[in-house]
Every structure is written in C-alpha cells, then in structure tokens.
Amino acid sequence: MSTINKAALQRQATLIANKRIGAYHQIIFSVGDVVRHCKPGNFIAIAVGGDSSKMILRRAFAISRTSENAQFGGTVELIVAPHGSGSKWLCAQQEGTEIDVVVPLGKAFGIPTEPANALLIGGGYGSAPLFGLADVLKSRGCRVDMVLGASVGSKIYAPMEGKRSVNSLKIFTEDGSMGETGRVTSQLKEIITEREVEIIYSCGPMAMLQAVTEIASSLGVIHQASVEEAMACGIGICMTCVLPIRGEDGTVSMKRSCIDGPVMDGATVCWDLVGKSTENFS
C-alpha cells in the first residue's frame, strides 16, 4: 500500500539564497536535519504568499540538490520557473525570509542495486532533480548519460558542477538556440541502443514523459518517470493529483502522484487515459 514519505516534516525554513539562472531561480532553503532524508526525486511543498495570502495551497517543487554545511546546516536547492502567482511570489522573496515548508515528500527515484548504464532525460526545469540523481548513480558505479531539452536555451538548466557528474550531456532546443535543434526524443532510440542504456530516468512535461515511455517500452528499457500533476495537498489526503495506473492484474486505477509518485514506473502509467473519463477504464 502507498504511504506518505515517513520522513516528512513541516517546518519554518529560511531562504538563504535566491539567484536568477536563465529563465529560472535557484532557491536554497535551510531545512535542518531533515535534509538527510531528502532523496533525488523527492519534492518540497511550500506555502506561498505570506500571512495574508489568498493562495491557500502549497506549491510543489522538486529538490534539485541537498547539502549539509557548517553555516546553514542542511540545505535543499530548488530550480523554480516563475510561472503563476505562487512561483513568482517565491522567486521574489529575499534572503532571510522564513517560509513554511513540508519536506521531503513523495517517492524517490529507485537506484539500481548493481552498476548499470543509466540515461537521465530532463525537460525544462525537469533537469533539476537529475543532477542530484546523477551524483548518487555515479557513486554507485553507474554510467550516467544525460539528455536535456527545452523550447529555448534560457530554459535549459545545466549547471557547471552538475555537468561534472555525467559521462555525457546532450542538449536539444526547439528553436536551436542551444545544443541541437529538436526534442529530447529526437535521437532517443539511437542513444539508448548505442550506449546500451539499461535504465531511463525522466522528469519534465507530461507529453515528454509519455513520448519517452513509448520509446523505452518499445526497446524494453526500464523507465522511471517523475510526473507532474496538479496537487492540492501534496501529502495524500485530497485525491486531486491522481493518474491512471495499470496494476499487475491489468486493471487501471487512479493513484495519487504525491505519495505513489512523483516517480512512477513509466510503463504502468496509462498516458492515453490521463484526463479522460474514468468510465473507460478497464
């Protein structure tokens, strides 16, 4: 049975850095000891707008990196796209602000028990959790290749230090303003075959995850996708964030992406049924 992340805690976290990077903001929170339980693929849920906010729901962001240091204790880093009112508010906060967060949430990426050839695929800010993941995979002896894509170059998030932990990095933009022109899926089959990829990790827009799933399935490669469905609570109590998942018995049921995910076995997600009337479920 699915359960909430056992380490999840609610706390006041201090925003200790907020820096623009391309189209995104790199935001770092000091969260204390709980950082030890934050794994690649987990997310943080942040209360936005302050005390008199009309925004009553938290915003979810993938944890891109964690660290522990002497000055600030445990810190988590997020890569935030200023999208609507909540994320814009967050990107406008200054260092020193105390913000209510719940962390860590959700299921993390599964790590292979034996060294394997891994391919990490990120769309837009979806690359954020992949660099932390790359570190872990590297430390377990995996080969780590990475493919990133976005509409424009400013939406490619690929920090210098991050690049160091991957064996190769390929970038695609739709307008060709960075890397090759195209999408992450453009040469995917070839890359998987050439590099003898055994496991794919992906994070990005749902359409990208679906496209990756199709290719991964056709080649029989394991694929862990970190999904992004709108979440009201992030902790499993509201049932808004569900996705149609095919179980081992072949039947489809609606699973909460906040606690059964966000990392899911791509092959079990019925991408075609997302947003469709549940009457069609088998």
Partner 1 sequence: MSAHSVDISTTLGNAWFPAPIFTASGCASSGKELAQFFPLKDIGAVVTKSVMNKPRHGRPTPRMAETPSGMLNSIGLQGPGIDAFLANDVPWLLAQNARVIVSIAGETADEYGVLARKLRSTPGISAIEVNISCPNVENRGLVFATDRDTSCRVIDSVRKVIGGEIPILAKLTPDVTNIVDVAKGVIDSGADGLALINTVLGMVINIDTMRPHLGGKTGGLSGPAIRPIAVRAIYQVREALPTVPILGMGGVSSGRDALELILAGASGVSVGTASFGNPTAVISIQNELRELLAQRGFTSLKQAIGYAHRV
Ligand X SMILES: Cc1cc2nc3c(=O)[nH]c(=O)nc-3n(C[C@H](O)[C@H](O)[C@H](O)COP(=O)(O)OP(=O)(O)OC[C@H]3O[C@@H](n4cnc5c(N)ncnc54)[C@H](O)[C@@H]3O)c2cc1C
Residues in contact with ligand X by CB under 6 A are 43, 57, 59-62, 78-81, 83-88, 125, 128, 228, 230-231, 262
Count of CB atoms within 10 A of residue 116's CB? 18
Listed in sequence order, the residues at least 6 apart from 248 whose beta carbon sits closer than 8 Å to its beta carbon are: none
Q: Is 232 in the site for ligand FES (CB under 6 A)?
A: yes
Listed in sequence order, the residues at least 6 apart from 131 whose beta carbon sits closer than 8 Å to its beta carbon are: 64, 65, 159, 161, 162, 165
- Alpha-carbon torsion 270, 191, 66, 151, what sign? negative
Assess contact for 75 and 16: CB atoms under 8 A: yes
Classified as helix, coil or strand, 141 is coil
238 binds, among ligand X, partner 1, a copy of itself, none (CB under 5 to 8 A by kind): partner 1
Shortest CB 58 distance to partner 1, Å: 6
Shortest CB 66 distance to ligand X, Å: 14
234 versus 244: smaller Cβ distance to ligand FES: 234
Shortest CB 268 distance to partner 1, Å: 16
Report the candidate in 132, 235, 149 with the shortest Cα–Cα distance to residue 187: 149
51 binds, among a copy of itself, partner 1, ligand X, none (CB under 5 to 8 A by kind): a copy of itself
61 binds, among partner 1, a copy of itself, ligand X, none (CB under 5 to 8 A by kind): ligand X
Cα separation, 93 vs 215, in Å, equals: 41
Shortest CB 61 distance to a copy of itself, Å: 18
Region label for 226, one of left (φ > 0), alpha (ψ between -120 and 50) or beta (otherwise):
beta
Shortest CB 104 distance to ligand X, Å: 11
Interface ranges with partner 1 (CB under 8 A): 3-4, 6, 8, 10, 47, 54-58, 100, 102, 229-230, 232-233, 235-243, 252-254, 259, 274-278, 281
Interface ranges with a copy of itself (CB under 8 A): 48-55, 85-86, 89
